[in-house]
Structure 1
Amino acid sequence: MNSSRILSIDIMRGITLFLMLFVNDLYSPGVPKWLVHTQASDDGMGLADWVFPGFLFMVGLAIPYAIAARKKKGHDGFKIWVHILTRTLSLLLIGVLMVNISSLNPELTSMPAELWALLVYGCVFLIWNQYPRHSKNTRIFRLLRILGVVALVLLVVLFKAGTTENPEWLHTSWWGILGLIGWGYLSASATFVCTRGKFVGVIIVWLLFLILNILSQLGSLDGLNVLDPYIGVLLDGNIPTIVLSGLVVGMVVKKYKNNLVRLMGILVPIGVFFLILGAILHQYFIVSKILGTPSWAMYCSGISVFVFCMLFLVIDVLKWSAWTKLFLPAGQNSLTTYLAPDIIYYSIWGLGLNVFFYKQSESALLAICGSLAWAILMIGFAALLSKVHIKLKL
């Protein structure tokens, strides 16, 4: 396998995004438990509990390639750090804005939550859109980005939650999916850069975050709760552990991608190690996505390793890739694929349209088919946006 492009990376990212759209749309009580999120106090996991960590794993796996690409473009250490911090802050900001939509008070903000959300998403696309390069409309694109920034600032100023007697502003009770990705990306990227991509250094940092996750679950870090609203994701260790697991695998893949026997001889034991470690930790911690237990993190990382190995063999080694066309646009345009459906959601909710009839049915089959259709349509929607040069890039 001599091609420098590893298609399975894009495809696995696309598959996890497709499944994310699918499980996030599943709300019917008749749907099988193994498809939906497991309750926080339950010891177990279903498909929905693997999807997000599967994507986090791919965030880490792609980091060695992303850093190498920037170095190839001539970016020095300073520019790379600027990119890492800018991308992290962008993800945190968008994540916080998304999380606060549900708490908006329409009377205090002087507009419905759905309208505020749509305007925020519009600003996000104006600011972070990847406009065509070397275009005669460069000045227009610059003005659109400035317009997005100004409008977003106004929307943030206008935002009010709480009550008339006790008004509140934006809060970070949690950072949202994108915010969690941002913290995970920061921890893994900073680790990779600071250790200069050395396996031993990365593994030591991975172990430190795993220990933090264990200590956090034991309550040993409760004295640091005052820092939770700010760096709680890092102190908890769970998200960074998963992303760093992907980073370790990405470093192995980058080094041995052209030596299949050596590659699989390393990845398979890593996957087995994660699963065994998960089983050991399971003796002390339940498997819970909501609680972010270390056993859940290790089980998910092990599963992700084997899913990637399978995709690598099928797509990059055997070249059976015709079936991947559905997932490729999502894998190459992940942020747009994730955010664009929310524009449709809030438009439908704001207009009061009864489009999601399949969620009101007692038929599990109809609910599943409806959510699958939704996920396929949303991937197609993001692909269509990309064709008209609407593509988010942080």
Structure 2
Amino acid sequence: MQNNRLYSVDVMRGLTLFLMLFVNDLYMPGVPQWLGHTEASYDGMGLADWVFPGFLFMVGLAVPFAVSSRRKKGESDGAIARHVVLRTASLLFIGILILNVGQLNSELSGIDRSWWALAMYVAVFLIWNRYSQGGRWRYGVIALKVLGVAILTWLLVIFRAGEAGSERWLTTGWWGILGLIGWGYFVAALGYLLVGNRLWACMLLWLLFIALNIADQLGLLGFFDVLRPVLGVVIGGNVPSMVLAGLVCALLLHRYGGTPWWQVGIVAALGLACLAAGFLLREWFILSKIYGTPSWAMVCNGISMVVFALLFATADVFGYRRWANLFTLAGKNSLTTYLAPDVIYYLCWGFSIPLFIYKQAESPWLAIGGSLLWATAMIYFAYLLTRISIRLKL
């Protein structure tokens, strides 16, 4: 695949990040149900239930472009596979750290939860920051990374969850948002290295994980239970199927390259087909993000494809781009944009700073407006961090 970067890729990735920041900040009583997260057993979905699948879709869509870029730099497929494994491991590890913040027992650990979280984020930024290569700063960069490892090691040593007498350490749980991204990326990236640009093979891989998702929901995969503590996300099929949907769309864009309206039409048509499949599957499985049902996955895939087709037509075919500058800032700097706001949250909680005065259950529109402003401010905050060379890169 040619590494012709599509503007719409950054736009949609940034749009989903903006909405993730918005709905996560908005997660409180009193706001309209259609904006929030739907209860597990409720057959339906709101905006918050599509946002993360939309980002997963973009993870898959970006895979062929990223692989092509690395090949152009002279990397072998073996080197790219090693990068995929290392990146996946990093996402899983950071995801577990974030997931366990809420489990920390401050008394047993000897540190306030907010301060443990702040120190953890500082360590993550020190270790995984993209530093300038070589030059006189080489040993300074090494020192900063060593400092990050030392801080993280200390935090892991003192971490305790549970209660006295039944203490426990870190748990994988559901792996956290970054962990889910990691597993989905792992399947899609290695799958693409295996099948290449063969669209039919990629579609078969996608169908395989849709089938796994259906079989898992029907309780037919009990013989895999021994593997679930580690590979449960892969076995369940739900998350990988949404990332693979993006990969399929990327290969469709490649196949119909040079005919942009065919590209728009084929992605939009596939999106409508996914929506139809999702509502058909709803006859047997409710729409549920928490349960990870195949009907929910297919409806989300359909929405993602239709939205991307519209953004592709607007930004790459017609060239209307200035309206999306905010989203492209986030899309080009996704990991920093996602994690940097947590630093502000924990600083405010640790110092009891009353920053979130707009969170009023009796004034839902004030809460909505405040969360929109928060999401916008956090994108610019992450951008300012990049201007002083603070930018996460896995």
Question: Shorter-chain TM-score category?
Answer: over 0.9
Show the counterpart of 2:365.
365
Matched, 1:185 2:168: no
Deviates more, 1:346-355 or 1:54-63: 346-355
Tell me the CA shift for residue 108 of structure 1.
Answer: 1.5
Show the counterpart of 2:163.
163
* Counterpart AA for 2:391: K
DSSP-derived class of the 1:162 partner: strand
Tell me the CA shift for residue 351 of structure 1.
Answer: 1.1
Q: Deviations over 1:193-219 (max 9, x none)?
A: 111231121111111111110011111
* Counterpart AA for 1:289: K
Q: Deviations over 1:286-333 (max 9, x none)?
A: 001111000000000011011001001111111111111111111000
Show the counterpart of 1:24.
24
* Counterpart AA for 2:201: G
Deviates more, 1:136-145 or 1:375-384: 136-145
1:1-394, aligned counterparts within 5 Å? 4-394=4-394
Separation in structure 2 between the aligned mates of residue 363 and residue 302 of structure 1, nearest angstrom: 33
Tell me the CA shift for residue 361 of structure 1.
Answer: 4.2
* Counterpart AA for 1:85: V
Tell me the CA shift for residue 77 of structure 1.
Answer: 1.6
Separation in structure 1 between the aligned mates of residue 295 and residue 332 of structure 2, nearest angstrom: 31
DSSP-derived class of the 1:357 partner: coil
DSSP-derived class of the 2:44 partner: coil
Separation in structure 2 between the aligned mates of residue 16 and residue 308 of structure 1, nearest angstrom: 11
* Backbone CA RMSD of aligned residues: 1.4
Separation in structure 1 between the aligned mates of residue 263 and residue 215 of structure 2, nearest angstrom: 33
Separation in structure 2 between the aligned mates of residue 50 and residue 66 of structure 1, nearest angstrom: 24
Q: TM-score, normalised by structure 2?
A: 0.97
Separation in structure 1 between the aligned mates of residue 367 and residue 154 of structure 2, nearest angstrom: 39
Separation in structure 2 between the aligned mates of residue 135 and residue 326 of structure 1, nearest angstrom: 33
Query: Structure 1: 5+ residue runs without aligned partners?
Result: none
Separation in structure 2 between the aligned mates of residue 207 and residue 117 of structure 1, nearest angstrom: 39
Q: Deviations over 1:108-143 (max 9, x none)?
A: 211111111111100100011001234421210121
Separation in structure 2 between the aligned mates of residue 382 and residue 374 of structure 1, nearest angstrom: 12
Separation in structure 2 between the aligned mates of residue 38 and residue 189 of structure 1, nearest angstrom: 30
Separation in structure 2 between the aligned mates of residue 197 and residue 243 of structure 1, nearest angstrom: 16
Separation in structure 1 between the aligned mates of residue 316 and residue 135 of structure 2, nearest angstrom: 35
Q: Is the 8 A contact 2:109 2:158 kept in 1?
A: yes
Q: TM-score, normalised by structure 1?
A: 0.97
* Counterpart AA for 1:391: R
Q: Deviations over 1:160-182 (max 9, x none)?
A: 11122111000011100000000
Tell me the CA shift for residue 3 of structure 1.
Answer: 10
Q: Deviations over 1:203-251 (max 9, x none)?
A: 1111111111001111112343332221100010000000000000011
Percent identical:
52
* Counterpart AA for 1:194: L
Separation in structure 2 between the aligned mates of residue 27 and residue 79 of structure 1, nearest angstrom: 41
Equivalenced residue count is 393
Query: Structure 2: 5+ residue runs without aligned partners?
Result: none
Deviates more, 1:185-194 or 1:350-359: 350-359
